[in-house]
Amino acid sequence: MSKYPTRNEKVRTILLTGASSGIGYQASIRLLKSGNKLILPCRDASTAKETKAKLVSLTGSESVSTIVCDLADLKSIETMAYNLKNSENNIDTIALNAGLQYTGSKKVLRSVQGFELTIAVNHLANQAIVELLLPLLLKSANPRVVITSSEVHDPTSAGGSIGQPAGLGGLAGIKSDKNFEMIDGTSAFNADKAYKDSKLCNILFARQLSKKLNEIGNEMPVIVWAPGLVIPPVKKSFFRYSRQYNELGQRIFGFIARDILRITENVGRAGDILKKICIRPEFNQAGFSFYSNKLIAPGRYRLVESSTSAEAKDLEVSCKLWLYSSKLLELQKGWDSYII
């Protein structure tokens, strides 16, 4: 059982990435309506202004602040963390929900510091945010970390079995050089596999985070969840980058999956799940846990605590991934003051 109080707090301070659209946006609406305070990193000033204006208009709540933070730029993350540590008393939930996928591209895209963009945004940014903001999280009476992953991390899952499967190999890429293309260091670049690998990294990172927290006497919940296949019928959604490379194919796939086969989850329901994971006492279980939003019938999903892939359970791999990722982050000026 958790050592933290299980009272249903009326107000939590929640830092939530990926809130300008999709699941994160829907979760933000619901969290604000529930009386919570939100801190929303946005990639640029115009997105920050637009996101805050829409949320205030929809919810009537002023308990939302947006802060410029480009997750593809470690210096931007560092600046955000510095500003928050000088303006906030504590953070109760860090929800790492932002994700990027550019399946269909034959060309490697890179972050400001030169890392492959999928891994930079979906994995390295998460580790940087948690390590830098840990002091604020530890000041909470009831802290938790929430990470949005995907079932595609598992090669035996429906989505994970299509195309090249997730697999980090010996981590040769991320170990040896910041200019790696694939983490395993051997595969030719494949944007779809890079995304699957990043979702595997999410789970391995969470396992190691939980282990390190336990070592310093803190057993806060570290929750990873998979929302299922979510394809809103709008341009500004998770698949917007992949659509640049196959607009027609993505639209056809979305229509068939969402409107004919009914195998997708509604973005509003997915947002409601994320909201509940961020604040509800039933998710206050100490340590690492993984939940999957499972398709149980056409148009019907159910969130259940689940098992991960075999590789996602490998504590040796999770330890090495943390170590190699930290070394890459330490290459950047100012990244020498980690707490963990």
pLDDT at 301: 87
Measured CA to CA in angstroms, residue 213 lies from 149, 153, 206 at distances of 20, 24, 10
pLDDT at 302: 92
pLDDT at 232: 78
pLDDT at 231: 79
**pLDDT for 57-95, tens place per residue?**
999 999 999 999 999 999 999 999 999 999 999 999 999
Distance CA 291, CA 304 (A): 5
Structural domains of the chain, with CATH: 13-229+267-330 (3.40.50.720)
The β-bridge partners of 295 are 301
What does pTM read for this prediction? 0.90
Closest Cα to residue 148, out of 97, 93, 208? Answer: 97
pLDDT less than 70: residues of the chain: 1-10, 234-264, 331-340
pLDDT at 325: 95
pLDDT at 295: 82
pLDDT at 298: 82
pLDDT at 6: 41
